Every structure is written in structure tokens, then in C-alpha cells.
Amino acid sequence: MKRDIFSELIEGFDALASEGRRQVAGRLAQYELIIKAAEMMTEAEKRALQEWESTNITGDGEFATSDWPGWASVLDRARH
């Protein structure tokens, strides 16, 4: 049975949409972890984050608070 191009395109779009939903869900889960971890931050970590933000968050969209390198240790502690 020969498949038409429209069926193939629809399947392709469905696959892309499904992948997009998975990526969004993953990013939301990451942000949720960061929010929970922020509640556990020490005063020193909060100051370090503020300092990093003041030099790296410029409004050009290159970096966001979620890019702070210090999240790794805070998240590791939050998971335990």
C-alpha cells in the first residue's frame, strides 16, 4: 500500500509535537527542582548566586538564573 505524503507529514509533525512535550516537561521538572533547592540554600549560596547574577544576567537572554553553576551542589544536597 502506497503512503501519501500528507500521512508522512502528519506523522512527522505528531512526532515533533510529542518530543516537544517531553522537552517542556523535562524543563518544568528542572525548574521545580531549582525552586525547591532555593529554599535550602545557605546565606553564602544566596550571596554567590546574587553576585553571579549581577555579572551574568544582562537581559540579552544568554544566561538565566537557572544557569548558575552553583545549582549542582545545591541540587545534590536537596536530593538527599
Average pLDDT over residues 55-59: 93
Sign of CA dihedral 38, 41, 47, 52: negative
First-to-final CA distance of the chain: 55
Q: What is the pTM of this model?
A: 0.63
Average pLDDT over residues 14-35: 78
Longest distance between any two alpha carbons in the chain, whole Å: 66
Neighbours of 23 (CB within 10 A): 10
Lowest-pLDDT range of 3-12, 17-26, 32-41: 3-12
Average pLDDT over residues 25-48: 87
